Amino acid sequence: MSTLVDGPVRGGRGQRVLFIATTVILCLWVLVPIYLLFVNAVSSSSDVTTFPKPRVPAIDLESLRFFMNYQGVARASWNSLVVACTTMVIAIGIGAPAGYALSRFDFRGKSAFRLLVLLTRAFPLPLLALPLAILYIRVGLDDTVLGIACVHALLAMPFAVLINFSLFSGIPVELEEAAWTLGCNRWQAFRKVVLPLVLPGLTASAIFAFVISWNEVFAAAVLTIEHRTLPAFLLQSLNSAPLHLKFAGGAMLVLPALFFIFAVRKYLFAMWGIANR
């Protein structure tokens, strides 16, 4: 079966062409919008509407500069950051122990639990938004940073649990057992042996939770008025803004997410069961 390991490009010429064509289309599908977004973000306001784009765009940072100084952007960015960090803490705080338990213990309903964790993503957020908003107003969580963080943590949770499950499963249980026989209790063995080994992956899953929160717009837009996160703020304020400012805002929004996802791509592949090569 060694031929399979080398990749899917096997068999006839037709298959190879199909494979390459699919790859190219998929890449363009993702890259062209990102390219246009960034080119327009660094173009002057008059260049934004021209097409085709000049081969070497004239770099004009005026839109970006204007956007950065736009009133409310700084505050919304700060809110976004706080919400994303809180999301990260909640998601890992619950996801890591859950992942550890799934990988180390056998308990009744284990597979059902794994399925249910994924099912939390089966309900579309718009469906939940109204009851959630009412609930939040009743308990006083509406329009708070913590309130959105809780919703975002819920969205990030399935990924946090499953990534952590595969992380801990990748650590042989014998390493822990060896630590126990060498004088550790369960917690010491975890801290001295398991934690150092999962730390890179744990960081990656934390960043992933961060990105999910950073990009989320719907819940943030529905549940907040004063404490808008950046995406919600942009949705509201840039709706009527000129085109070049929209591009600048979009670029600012995409950049951190792209950067972080790129940094943790190895662990995301691991989660989906694709070997990292």
Partner 1 sequence: MAEIRINRVAKQFGKTHALQAIDLTIADREFMVLLGASGCGKTTLLRIVAGLETATAGQVHIGDRRVDQLPPKARGIAMVFQNYAVFPHLTVYENIAFGLRMAKLADSEIDKRVNRTAALMHIDPLLKRYSGQLSGGQRQRVAVSRALAMEPDVILMDEPLSNLDALLRMEMRAELKSVLAESNTTTIYVTHDQVEAMSMADRIAIMDQGHIVQCDVPVEIYRNPAAHFVGSFIGNPPMNFLKASRVDTGQWRVAGATLSGPGSDKNALDFAIRPEDITVGEGPLQAEVRLLEPLGSHTLLACRVDNTAFRVIVDSDTSVSIGDTLSLNPMADRVRWFDPDTQLAVPS
Residues that bind partner 1 (CB under 8 A): 172, 174-175, 177-185, 188, 192-193, 196-197
Please name the amino acid found at residue 52.
Answer: P
Read off the DSSP letter of residue 190.
I
Question: In the complex, what is the shortest distance from the CB of residue 180 to partner 1, in angstroms, rounded to a whole number?
Answer: 4
Per the CB < 8 A criterion, the answer to whether 63 and 41 are in contact is yes
Question: In the complex, what is the shortest distance from the CB of residue 112 to partner 1, in angstroms, rounded to a whole number?
Answer: 19
Per the CB < 8 A criterion, the answer to whether 94 and 149 are in contact is no
Question: In the complex, what is the shortest distance from the CB of residue 192 to partner 1, in angstroms, rounded to a whole number?
Answer: 8
How many angstroms separate the first and last alpha carbons of the chain?
Answer: 18
Question: In the complex, what is the shortest distance from the CB of residue 208 to partner 1, in angstroms, rounded to a whole number?
Answer: 23
Q: Which C-beta is closer to partner 1: that of 6 or that of 174?
A: 174
Q: Which C-beta is closer to partner 1: that of 28 or that of 178?
A: 178
SS3 217: coil
Q: Which C-beta is closer to partner 1: that of 120 or that of 188?
A: 188
Question: In the complex, what is the shortest distance from the CB of residue 167 to partner 1, in angstroms, rounded to a whole number?
Answer: 14
Question: In the complex, what is the shortest distance from the CB of residue 179 to partner 1, in angstroms, rounded to a whole number?
Answer: 7
**CA-to-CA dists, residue 64 to 68, 199, 217, angstroms:** 6, 36, 21
Q: Which C-beta is closer to partner 1: that of 111 or that of 181?
A: 181
Per-residue tokens: 259: 């950067």
> What is the b/e burial string over 25-35, where b = at least 16 CB atoms within 10 angstroms of the residue's CB?
eeeeeeeeeee
Angle (CA) 20-26-31 rounded to 5° is 120
Q: Which C-beta is closer to partner 1: that of 3 or that of 185?
A: 185
Per the CB < 8 A criterion, the answer to whether 135 and 66 are in contact is no
Alpha-carbon distance of 258 to 66, in angstroms, equals 23
Per the CB < 8 A criterion, the answer to whether 99 and 162 are in contact is yes
Q: Which C-beta is closer to partner 1: that of 180 or that of 269?
A: 180
Q: Which C-beta is closer to partner 1: that of 118 or that of 182?
A: 182
Q: Which C-beta is closer to partner 1: that of 81 or that of 197?
A: 197
Question: In the complex, what is the shortest distance from the CB of residue 210 to partner 1, in angstroms, rounded to a whole number?
Answer: 25
Question: In the complex, what is the shortest distance from the CB of residue 108 to partner 1, in angstroms, rounded to a whole number?
Answer: 12
Alpha-carbon distance of 226 to 220, in angstroms, equals 11
Per the CB < 8 A criterion, the answer to whether 175 and 194 are in contact is yes
